Chain A
Amino acid sequence: MSIITVDGLTKAYGSHTVLNNISFDLPKGEVIGLFGPNGCGKTTLMKILTGLIHDYKGKVLVDGNAPGEQTKAITAYLPEQTFVHDWMRNIDAVNYFADFYADFDKEKALDMLSRFGLNLKQKSKTMSKGMQEKLLLSLVMSREADLYILDEPMGGVDPATRASILDFIMENYAQKSTLLISTHLINDLESVFTHALFIGGGKVLLNDSVAEITKDGKHIEDVFKEVFSNVW
């Protein structure tokens, strides 16, 4: 069973084609790593999956439906940048999610904020990038979503905190769900991935289980270097 089906997807920005007629399926219930060099279209692909980009060619299905109202209800998305309104305090952001997402667990979110040491009354705009990232992560991971899409979830976090954030994600995502994570920090996350999707040069370069691609004793990062040395 596929959670994501992409068929003949092409997306260009002006004359620059980022995704060029790509097709792939991603299995349900896996922790999927989305890998590729900067500018290869990882974020674009995630935005298409979450319904933030519309002018593409090809077919995209999330759990059998084109990105829209239905798929947004089952997808929890953590973008690279903060999206909370400036006026919102942490508690306002929690209440906002509780208002709109039927699968949001408010108690869990409050507990996570407390674990991260975030003050409920602190305003989003007064928080550091790292604190904002923890807030967003708490909000997103407090949903019982079918699909989590995390774009560079540890991009703004110091190395010491990365391990705890990773544990946090793995503890809190709804089991049976699918996690799609884009990251450059392959080594930090290698242990959790069960499936890998490599994109580069507008194409899908590899789409396979981690067990399969590391059967020769290689690490994902080795495979990454191998694949992309041929592309760039």
Chain B
Amino acid sequence: MFGKLLKNDLKAQWHSVNIILLSMGIICIVAEAFAIFTDNNVLGALAGLLVFGVLIFACLVMVIAVSMLFSKTVFGRAGYLTLTLPARTRDLVWSKTVSGLIWIFGVFSLMILSMFIWVSQVDNRFGSEIQAAADLLSLFGAPSISVVFAIVAIYTSIFAVLILLAVQCIYLGITLSNVTPFSKLGNFGAVIVTFVSIWVIVTITGAIGDVLPVGIVLTESKILFTTDFANAVKTLGDSIIFRQNLTGIVLSLAGALLLNLPITSLIKNKVNIK
């Protein structure tokens, strides 16, 4: 059932943004082609920047579109269809969460990729020492591809967790704004709850991360997970290529997963479809 729900949610999301995303895609392709083929360095760099800017805007559009679709398909008139399906409420919410995550993360990844391409193009145009993609990656102090992949994987996971957390907080805000007495605050209440819940979770998980640091440390020869993050950093010294405290992000993931419970419970027990 979850697979069917996810398939239909991904499809519905596509239909909610296809025109705007295709328009942005065309702008990006034209701007990127211009950036590649123009002889004017300044205009070329600006065109690359335009692509980056359009994709930042696309990320915002995607977040709004995901929020609106959740609101419409659960609490709007389409809720009659969604909430009479023979599916568990938990699965309904998960499906919409995963769909939102996939869409936002997809557009976000394109934005990051466009940033790399833009940096590469600017470096090429303005005669930096950094020419090749491998050199570009050394911006992160990463001397080998395998270490670079590890770093990219870590950052990808962190961004995915943060997007997941944001999606869940948005869904919680929207759900609460459909439950008495929060419903009196309407969309304003939804926005407030979203930001407050993100702030609370990030603050708490960050604080716990400071007290109980569990981290990952990368050197050229090994990847080390440690519960004594400070000591590992001290011991390995200059051989460390990359380090990241993971406690906060793991707890954020746990927080995002746990948010499914109140959202599901509210939809199942408190929300009435008008």
Contact = CB atoms under 8 A, between A and B. Distances in A.
- Interaction A to B: yes
Interface of A: 47, 50-55, 69-70, 72-73, 75, 77, 79, 81-85, 87, 96, 99-101
A75 B85 CA distance: 10
Given A82-B77, A85-B78, 20 more contacts: A50-B84, A52-B79, A53-B273, A54-B268, A54-B272, A55-B272, A69-B88, A72-B84, A72-B85, A72-B86, A81-B77, A81-B80, A83-B81, A87-B12, A87-B15, A96-B8, A99-B7, A99-B8, A100-B1, A101-B86
B77 A53 contact: no
B84 A55 contact: no
Interface residues of B, number: 25
A79 B79 CA distance: 11
Contact of A51 (B1, B8, B81, B84): B84
A100 B269 contact: no
Given A87-B12, A96-B8, A100-B4, A51 B83 contact: yes
Interface in B1-20: 1, 4, 7-8, 12, 15-16
Contacts of A55: 269-270, 272
Contacts of B270: 54-55
A52 to B, nearest CB: 4
B80 A100 contact: no
20 contacts: A47-B273, A52-B79, A52-B272, A54-B268, A54-B270, A55-B269, A55-B270, A69-B87, A69-B88, A72-B85, A72-B87, A79-B80, A84-B81, A85-B12, A85-B78, A85-B81, A87-B12, A96-B81, A99-B7, A100-B1
Nearest to A79: B80
Interface of B: 1, 4, 7-8, 12, 15-16, 73, 77-81, 83-88, 268-273
B269 A77 contact: no
Contacts of B1: 100
B88 A85 contact: no
Given A51-B83, A96-B8, A87 B16 contact: yes
Contacts of B73: 85
B269 A54 contact: yes
A197 B12 CA distance: 39
Contacts of A51: 83-84
Nearest to A96: B8
Nearest to A13: B272
Contacts of B15: 85, 87
Contacts of B7: 99
Contacts of A73: 86
Contact of A83 (B4, B78, B86, B271): B78
A141 B134 CA distance: 62
Closest 5 pairs (CB-CB, A-B): A87-B15, A83-B80, A73-B86, A83-B81, A52-B273
Contact of B84 (A52, A84, A87): A52
B212 to A, nearest CB: 39
Nearest to B73: A85
Given A54-B270, A87-B12, A96-B8, A77 B86 contact: no
A50 B16 CA distance: 28
B77 A83 contact: yes
Contacts of A53: 272-273
B79 to A, nearest CB: 7
B222 to A, nearest CB: 48
Contact of A77 (B16, B84, B272): B84
Contacts of A47: 272-273
B12 A52 contact: no
A122 to B, nearest CB: 15
B225 to A, nearest CB: 41
B99 to A, nearest CB: 14
Contacts of A82: 77
A173 to B, nearest CB: 17
Among A47, A50, A84, A85, chain B packs the most CB atoms within 10 A around the CB of A85
Contacts of B80: 52, 77, 79, 81, 83
A72 B78 CA distance: 16
B153 to A, nearest CB: 34
B67 to A, nearest CB: 16
A92 to B, nearest CB: 8
B214 to A, nearest CB: 39
A100 B12 contact: no
A76 to B, nearest CB: 9
